[in-house]
Structure 1
Amino acid sequence: FFDSLNFSIDLATDLQYQVPETWKDVASKLKLPFDSEINYHPEYENYFVGEKVKQADVVLLGYPLMFQMTPKQRRNDLLIYELVTDPDGPAMTWSMFSIGFMEIKQIDAAETQLKKCFANITEPFKVTDHVPAGACSLCLSSSPPLRVTDHVPAGGRQSGSVTDGEAEQIRKEKKGSGGAYKINKQSLDLDPVVTDEITHLQITGVSYLGNKLNFTFTKSVTTVELTSAHGNPKDSLVISFDQLTPDLPLYIGQPVSFPMKAAHIHTKSTCV
């Protein structure tokens, strides 16, 4: 995909590797279908709204791909495909919808999608299947029927809807669409969302520019703690908000708390 290729081109350039011209050529020629009349991304060329789809495909444009689009386009993609996605689709589907609805601040819809994930958990060991519990994803002549079980990836995607959606998974990128928690070239951006059934979320050991950070989110407060720092004073971190709010410096072992709102963590020498 062209965003992935462009990211690879940027990374190779930063690391002083020679970039093959074919990468740029392929990236410039890839096509992403878009319907300007309805303002959404069709599943494929000549797709019509209402046609059933198996799983989250277009929804992945917003996350994890971070494809640039307007909030309205992101919302339309989510609402259109929510209605036509196979209810017995893979487990990751609902966590991706949940993350998407968190991005556009539709918390009730996000929570509804998150709860769907738990239908794919099977007893007694809480294993996550591609299909909802009780369904048979591969029925042969065995007794009992065999199941194709996704022990780690599906479970990882499901738990990802909490860690990635509540505080979107760290992903270095040049640019990104709206999200709750992401890293770009200038800053680590926060815009957290906490759903009704989650009262407290803690993420520890996040590495950023040689620093280590812990994050705690509640319904109304965000807390950031610097646990280790890069040695260069000019690279010390601050938290910035809007132009009217003073920056908050980060010091090792001194947690900083502020009301739940969008914020940027970056070095003192970086303008955001």
Structure 2
Amino acid sequence: MTRFFVLLFALSLPFWIAGSVFRGPGLLPMDMPVSAFQFVLPLVVAMVCSRRDEGVRGVATLLRRLFSVPRRGQRAWWVPVVLLVPATMLLSYGLIALAGVPLDGPRESLATVPVLFAVYAVAAACEETGWMGYVLRPLQRRWGVLGGAVVLGVVWAVWHVVGYVQGGRAAWWIVGQCLSTVALRVLMVWLFHRTGQAVLPAVVIHALINVAESVFPGYPQRPVAALAFGLVTAAAATMVTLVWGARTSPGSYGKAHLRRRRPR
């Protein structure tokens, strides 16, 4: 676990340096900096660690885990998986509108959503192979289900901060974005266990997050948008934790439930 995070941040340094040297406004969605290509690193680091842990067999198991899906009795959970991000983003939009704040600014056309989803799904698959496919289990064995989710959410948020700064995001925008990042990871981990520890639903949620932020008017430029999204997702994560606390609190899953499973 520690090895994963140390290697991840060490390998991120060249991407952050490149992002500070090369500017590419308009070339990537939401004016992302060059350092955004660090999305490949969770996959790379997870493969390196799996190779060290279990050899080639470990790498093959990791890659198969990426395509794990909910079993027949768990497929109804695809509904909240697909609706989570659109619902929370629409609530955020509504809160901003009720506050009388103008909702304008550049955004991607709705016609580009299929292409955006395909592009973001590739990036999400690389990240979630590392986050959910590899490092989540040892985190939860140490800190429990909820504790592991929060720790992973914080690392996920911190890992993106350099890119946010390089992308010219305002300080309050970063605060709101980090809040939503941690809250969404808690929700993703909750759904991860509801879907039988399937990784593919997490990939879908991750891709939808980026799609929603791309089509939200002025999302990268408006701190109020990120703050509203952060508050709404934090409220959703809190509600899930309180209502299903017996299932999502630290220690609520036994060791057998949290141990590595052979992917379906």
Considering the TM-score relative to the shorter chain, is it more than 0.5? no
TM-score with structure 1 length normalisation?
Answer: 0.26
Structure whose alpha-carbon radius of gyration is higher: 1
TM-score with structure 2 length normalisation?
Answer: 0.27
- The structure with the greater share of residues assigned to helix is 2
- The structure with the greater share of residues assigned to strand is 1
